[in-house]
Amino acid sequence: PHGGYWSLLIASVPLGLIILYTEGQKRLYASFISVEKETFVKEYEAYYASQPHIGGTALFFARKKENIPAYIPKTMFKNGIIYERNVIVKMKPTSEPLGVECELSTLAAGLDLLVIFVGYMEIFNMETILKSQKINERTIFYGDEEIVSSSLWWKLYGLIKDMSPNFVSFYNFPNEKLIGVSRRAEIR
């Protein structure tokens, strides 16, 4: 064979993997079930007032500040793991290259929302940000997914997702504080 076909054939492999990963991410996030913030806060207030609390502060990572990921109510209400202070942390990249700003707001007694606005090129220390907000976390919860599928392509996506580092690994949290709350995600 003559011509540039070999370069196209070789380039199709990484392109195919990139397309598989981005399509898998879309399907995975479409399968997420989240809870409306107002509904969650009402249930939280009732539960927090009537149940005992674990001493200290817990961090819960979320993607959006409008909705609450399903792992948070599951952890708090079904598993009964609720701390004296619970902080939902949301990272939001900005269009500016550098800079870090924080917004800490109270949603209910013992429940805060910390939104961290980070420049897209910023390398920051999460521990420093938490200390500046007077947050001394005892435990850090984050959502994790186990991908289940009958399709060979989505099984390959699941393998790629399992091999890639989780987002909490970028923040260098102490391993003894991290707890991953896993859920099964079926992708078709």
CA angle (154, 89, 39) in 5-degree steps: 85
Q: HSE on the CB side for 134, CA within 13 Å?
A: 3
Q: What pLDDT shows up at residue 1?
A: 56
Domain assignment of residue 170, yes or no: yes
Q: Of all helices (H) and strands (E), which one includes residue 55?
A: strand 54-62
**Is residue 23 domain-resident?**
no
**Rg of the chain's alpha carbons, rounded to an integer?**
20
Backbone angles phi, psi at 107, to 5 degrees: -95, -35
Please list the alpha-helical segments (H only) found in the chain. Answer: 5-30, 37-50, 71-73, 126-132, 152-163
CA–CA separation, 83 and 52 (whole Å): 9
pLDDT digits (tens, 9 = 90+) for 174-188: 888 999 898 888 888
- Distance of alpha carbon 74 from the chain centroid: 15
50: in domain: yes
Q: In the prediction, which pLDDT does 164 show?
A: 87
- Does residue 4 fall inside a structural domain? no
What's the mean pLDDT in 27-33?
A: 87
Q: What would the mean pLDDT of 31-35 be, rounded to a whole number? A: 86
Euclidean distance between CA atoms 35 and 56, whole angstroms: 25
Asked whether residue 132 is domain-assigned, the answer is yes
In the beta sheet, which residues pair with residue 145? Answer: 183
Range of the domain at 85: 30-186
> Taking all residues of the chain, what is their mean pLDDT, rounded to a whole number?
91
- In this structure, is residue 22 part of a structural domain? no
Domain total in the chain? 1
Does residue 169 lie in a domain region? Answer: yes
Reported as a single tens digit per residue, the pLDDT across 37-89 is 999 999 999 999 999 999 999 999 998 777 899 999 999 999 999 999 999 99
Is the residue at 60 inside a domain? yes
pLDDT score of 18: 96
